[in-house]
Amino acid sequence: MERISFELLARDERARRGVLHTGHGSVQTPAFLPVGTRGTVKTLGSEDLEALGAEIALANTYHLVLRPGADLVAEHGGLHRFMAWTGALLTDSGGYQVHSLSALNVVDEDGVTFKSHLDGSPHRFTPESTVEAQARLGADLVVCLDQCLPADADRRSHLAAVRRTTAWAARCRAVFGPHFRTYDYPQALFGIIQGGTDKELRQRAADELGALDFPGYAIGGLAVGEPKEALLETVALLDTLLPEERPRYLMGVGKPEDLVWCVARGVDLFDCVLPTRNARNGMAFTSRGKLVIRNAAHARAAGPLDPACRCWVCARYSRAYIRYLHQAGEILGLRLVTYHNLHFYLGLMHAMRAAIQAGRFAAWQEGFFAAYDAA
Amino acid sequence: MERISFELLARDERARRGVLHTGHGSVQTPAFLPVGTRGTVKTLGSEDLEALGAEIALANTYHLVLRPGADLVAEHGGLHRFMAWTGALLTDSGGYQVHSLSALNVVDEDGVTFKSHLDGSPHRFTPESTVEAQARLGADLVVCLDQCLPADADRRSHLAAVRRTTAWAARCRAVFGPHFRTYDYPQALFGIIQGGTDKELRQRAADELGALDFPGYAIGGLAVGEPKEALLETVALLDTLLPEERPRYLMGVGKPEDLVWCVARGVDLFDCVLPTRNARNGMAFTSRGKLVIRNAAHARAAGPLDPACRCWVCARYSRAYIRYLHQAGEILGLRLVTYHNLHFYLGLMHAMRAAIQAGRFAAWQEGFFAAYDAA
């Protein structure tokens, strides 16, 4: 395969149905990326991701660069081989984690200097070094370094972040090109749109990055504290600003209802820790809504997490047993809810793809919310 | 099925090859029981035990009685259904955990009073109450309450423990009989032989419990601090004392080499936390011996835990990745080594069964130790 490419198969109003062709198989979109922060989706192996039918997963550059290091992963022929995963991978730039996790970080025009949250050791990401690291990790989809601000940052800061993000994107693209390869398969570079919930700044970011003609666009700077309505308006705006023929990846979003609302607004790719992190806190996602497994109501419940679910966890285990495992602090409890939640998320994406393809996404959405309590 | 029964298929010198017929399938012996202390073999589900080909597992009465309680398990129709396990189950009496885990315990002629290690709440086990609890948990194989002493207890104490253990066994048998049922399948009561490493006391215990004609005999009070030679001599002695037609279960033993040595001395059933607990500490068992996955030597090792192993963990994952997972504290690392170790243990039992059946156990044993470093 020469390059990673995206094919738009259908639109139903603003919802899009497509396929991303990668050197690690096709990714049917809209798609949700399970988050494998440190090269494993917590509690699951790659064999579980395969069983779930996942076609793409995400890993975090920040974590992997600190440990085990891009060198060691590269020695193994890249992250796919290291984690024994045959599907596609996207890595983030690490910029978000630098801000949220590292002890101390200073942004300058040339990059960001920070201390590891593991041992306090000093590190630096530049636009070039983070793409270089992702290239060596071997992600199919690589993301430019950006500057992400909290929703309540002032406009002046947001403007500066957009300018900087554009400048960094241009540098990344100049050094690596939009398409490149480190191993025997193609890699593609995505630009990131910043701008908070300011329409003018989003327009500016989309124009500038659009002019650089990236193979795909990440939408950053959302789900960072802004009202839900502002998030949805921003996504809807970007649908009109971003090139139709390129995939759009909404970073770090979200709840099941968010996925539905944002698919309806033209998003193709999503990632979020919610189904996996919340699983470990005992929250299961079901066709009826959220379920808190530790609730006393489940202590004697012989039924599954979700009677409508077809996953092996629901076929085999009762809520009472899973609740007991969580109460007892047994690892199996974390694993079972994690698997179920990802099954729910991936099933949700599958259902949306089918509905868009059939031109009945609006009706499907109505049916979904008739059953699903998004409260 | 009327009752649980044991069939001795072959002997090769002192090694025995048999089959235990239970209401939850046949158990080929010699067999190793994975330890599912709290109703799950840590990090694994029942689907994993099935994939491993396990035919029987162990659960701890002490832990399950404290949480979630025998009542709740009974409401679900017993532990098999609660943990969704279709194979056979053995529960211990809880006596050992009372001594090793509970904050405060007092033994009297009628039982043992103790405080929960979870919340300090007061509890009491009598011979009748622990068998009653196991009956309601629904174990196929139920074990009498015994008194287990450390190896260095004096002879007077050992004698008292044997007397008490016999008296308790007689009470258990009188109330429940050797064969009983709580659900729609048969359960069988095993007596426990105590006596430390004192030949006379072991003889006495075997005589007294033999006279009570139990469907099986547990060998307790070993692997509690005595020299390995004394353990092996005691096991060899019991082989001559225990009824040929009943299964012998050596409790809490052991390392791979111990299993081999004790199969050679007529033991049919084993349980031990070693393959699972050590897995979580990063120790893998391989055909060559023990492997400490955190050792720097494995940091860049592309090979599997054991090149001779056929489990899916070894087929898929490198030592470098598994080491990294352990270094990073990722749950998947615990799970992968746990699965591999149980595969090794169950494979070892399988190999011994085949060797005994073929009448070449001595030759097999020589071959095993030529490769396996028991140091």
- In this model, does residue B104 exceed pLDDT 80? no
Between the CA of residue B346 and those of B20, B257, B363, what are the distances in Å? 16, 13, 20
Decide if A299 and B72 are in contact by the 8 Å CB cutoff: yes
Summarize pLDDT for B282-300 with one digit per residue, the tens.
999 999 999 999 999 999 9
Identify all chain B residues contacting A318, using CB atoms and an 8 Å cutoff: 76, 82, 84
| pLDDT of the residue at A233 | 98
Domains of chain B in start order, with CATH, are 5-272 (3.20.20.105), 279-371 (no CATH)
Q: Are A98 and A108 in contact (CB under 8 A)?
A: no
Decide if B299 and A72 are in contact by the 8 Å CB cutoff: yes
* Tokens 């990063």 found at: B282
- Indicate the pTM of the whole model: 0.98
| pLDDT of the residue at B12 | 98
Amino acid symbol at B252:
G
Summarize pLDDT for B336-356 with one digit per residue, the tens.
999 999 999 999 999 999 999
Predicted ipTM of the assembly: 0.97
Decide if A45 and B335 are in contact by the 8 Å CB cutoff: yes
| pLDDT of the residue at A105 | 82
Q: What is the DSSP letter of A57?
A: E
- How many other C-beta atoms lie within 10 A of the C-beta of residue B213? 11
> How far does the CA of residue A368 sit from the closest CA of chain B (Å)?
31
* Interatomic CA distance for residues B24 and B312, integer angstroms: 26
Summarize pLDDT for A138-178 with one digit per residue, the tens.
999 999 999 988 889 999 999 999 999 999 999 999 999 99
Decide if B300 and A327 are in contact by the 8 Å CB cutoff: no
> How far does the CA of residue B230 sit from the closest CA of chain A (Å)?
36
- In this model, does residue A103 exceed pLDDT 80? no
| Structure-block tokens of residue B55 | 């035919």
- In this model, does residue A104 exceed pLDDT 80? no
- Residues of chain B that touch chain A, judged by Cβ-Cβ distance less than 8 Å: 38-40, 42-47, 67-68, 72, 75-76, 82-84, 299-300, 302, 312, 316-318, 320-321, 324-325, 327-328, 330-332, 334-336
| pLDDT of the residue at A95 | 82
Summarize pLDDT for A233-250 with one digit per residue, the tens.
999 999 999 999 999 999
Inter-chain CB pairs, A–B, below 8 Å: 102
User: B36: nearest CA in chain A?
Assistant: A330
Catalytic residues of A: 92, 271
E strand spans, chain B? 5-12, 15-22, 25-29, 31-33, 56-59, 88-91, 105-108, 111-115, 122-125, 141-143, 179-180, 187-193, 216-219, 248-250, 269-271, 283-286, 289-292
* Interatomic CA distance for residues B164 and B150, integer angstroms: 16
Nearest Cα residue to A191 out of A212, A163, A164: A212
Confidence of residue A211 (pLDDT cuts 50, 70, 90): very high
| pLDDT of the residue at A99 | 76
Confidence of residue A49 (pLDDT cuts 50, 70, 90): very high
> How far does the CA of residue A76 sit from the closest CA of chain B (Å)?
7
Minimum-distance CB partner of B43 among A39, A47, A332 = A332
Q: Are A324 and B39 in contact (CB under 8 A)?
A: yes
Decide if A42 and B68 are in contact by the 8 Å CB cutoff: no
